[in-house]
Amino acid sequence: MRIAISTGGGDAPGLNAVIRAGVLAALQRGWDVLGIKRGFAGLLGEDEVIPLTRDSVRGIAHMGGTILRTTNRGSPFNYPVAQADGSIKYVDRSDELIANAKALGIDAIISIGGDGSLKIAQQLVNKGMKVVCVPKTIDNDVPCTINTFGFDTAVSTVVEALDKLHTTAESHDRVMLIEVMGRDAGFIALYAGVAGTADIVLIPEIPFSVDKVCEAVVARERSGRRFSIVVVAEGAAPVGGSTSIIGESLPGQAKRVGGVVEPLARIIQERTGKETRSLILGHLQRGGQPTGYDRLLSTRFGGAAVRAIEEEKWGHMVALQSPHIVFVPIPEVLSSEKRVDPDGDIVTTAREMGISFGD
């Protein structure tokens, strides 16, 4: 038996721990393991396919990033090919990929990635390839699994930033806005905002009113708390408005959301008269060592992916449905959506703590 592992989409802390676990569980069964570099580029002659041995995964569980590297422009069904005139043409190279995998004697693939990778995996399964998936995103918005690895690490990074912002905000009596990742989901902002004792949390699932945000700042001032910490999910939008786009992406990439925090800071300063500052935490949230929780989840997912192959669960994704790890058919995952429940326990708890959602 020879399996191959690929990491696709944006990186997330814990990817290396999944790779390590997959390799160890496969080696223990006497299987061979290959690593496909940079998404599926390695299987298209655009990068390497490397052997993954006991030595290649030694001492990597605590490392951020991915030893296999990654890309979010590498769908074999829509592969960017540079043309002589500098333009990019998208071509279907899936047959080439399947032929190359066959030539290398690859029996099955573990694809570690987010929704884009899940779609690619399903398309490959439809063409007869044996693929199982491991969900990955710091945003925690993959349906059918309680958590994805990388989320806990990202939340910890934001909480650490909030601790630091608190001391400077309090010293200067300032309003401090911090924009955090999450795309269309507010999990990072909500979890970190509650854990890091923010005063205002703005998430895409609860459209905010600028008036209400300003009222919350002024109310704190009146109660003697002269600073405020505002956590803003990059996808947050005002009532009747839409998520702001930070800029154009490269062709073939998803739009980059965010940038809401800067205009919002200006408006808060104008309307409340409070000195206001903002920052975008950005890719710091994707880097660094995975937390213990994420390393454990990654290791469980890596081991389970090998079990999924053993049980021939082609087209399934491993998922945490506590306390169990289960295998969910990819179409089931892709047909649903996971967002913060505005009536759920964490939002309710936040409101009980006096946190305003600007609504």
Contact (Cβ atoms closer than 8 angstroms) between residue 44 and residue 100: yes
Q: Which of 39, 61, 139, 243 binds ligand F6P (CB under 6 A)?
A: 139
Q: Which is nearer to ligand F6P, 56 or 289 (CB)?
A: 289
For ligand F6P, the closer CB: 12 or 268:
12
Is 193 in contact with 124 (CB distance < 8 Å)? no
The CA distance from 140 to 136, in Å, is 8
- Is the bond preceding 323 in cis, omega lying within 30 degrees of 0? yes
What residues act catalytically?
139
Nearer to ligand F6P, 93 or 286 (CB): 286
Q: Which is nearer to ligand F6P, 259 or 342 (CB)?
A: 259
Contact (Cβ atoms closer than 8 angstroms) between residue 205 and residue 339: yes
Could you tell me how far CA 289 lies from the centroid of its own chain? 15
Binding residue for ligand F6P, selected from 75, 117, 137, 269, defined by CB under 6 A:
137
Judged by CB under 6 A, the chain residues 232 through 251 that form the site for ligand F6P are 234
Q: Name the minimum Å distance from CB 42 to ligand F6P.
A: 20
From the CB of 187, what's the least distance to ligand F6P, in Å? 10
Closer Cβ to ligand F6P, 10 or 303, answer by number: 10
Q: Kindly give the pairing relationship between strand 245-247 and strand 256-257.
A: antiparallel
2 touches ligand F6P by CB under 6 A? no
- The interface region with ligand F6P, picked from 126-134, 180-188, 200-208, 336-344 by CB under 6 A, is 180-188
Burial of 137 (0-12, 13-18, 19+ CB in 10 A): buried
Please name the amino acid found at residue 289.
Answer: Q
- Enumerate the H helices of the chain as residue ranges: 15-28, 94-103, 115-126, 151-172, 187-195, 210-222, 261-272, 292-310, 330-334, 345-352
Per CB under 6 A, does 182 bind ligand F6P? yes
Minimum CB–partner distance for residue 124 and ligand F6P (Å): 22
Q: Binding residue for ligand F6P (CB under 6 A) from 181, 216, 260, 317? A: 181
When asked if residue 14 is in the footprint of ligand F6P (CB under 6 A), the reply is: no
> 41 vs 5, 49, 104, 167, 305, CA distance in Å?
12, 9, 14, 46, 21
CB count in 10 Å sphere of residue 321:
11
Taking the C-alpha atoms of residue 200 and residue 303, their distance in angstroms, rounded to an integer, is 40
Binding part of the chain for ligand F6P, among 175-183, 196-204, 271-279, 312-320 by CB under 6 A, reads 175-183
Contact positions with ligand F6P (CB under 6 A) in 289-348: none
Rounded least distance, CB 293 to ligand F6P, Å: 18
Q: Is 256 in the site for ligand F6P (CB under 6 A)?
A: yes
Q: Which of 109, 194, 257, 318 binds ligand F6P (CB under 6 A)?
A: 257
Listed residue (328, 277, 358) closest to 143, CA to CA: 328
What does the block give as tokens for 240? 């009747």
Which range, of 14-22, 178-186, 220-228, 325-333, touches ligand F6P by CB under 6 A? 178-186
- 44 in contact with ligand F6P (CB under 6 A): no
Region binding ligand F6P by CB under 6 A among candidate stretches 31-39, 133-141, 272-280, 348-356: 133-141
Instruction: Give dist(CA 208, CA 202) in Å, integer.
Output: 7
Residues that bind ligand F6P in the complex, under the rule CB under 6 A: 10, 72, 137-139, 181-183, 234, 256-257, 286
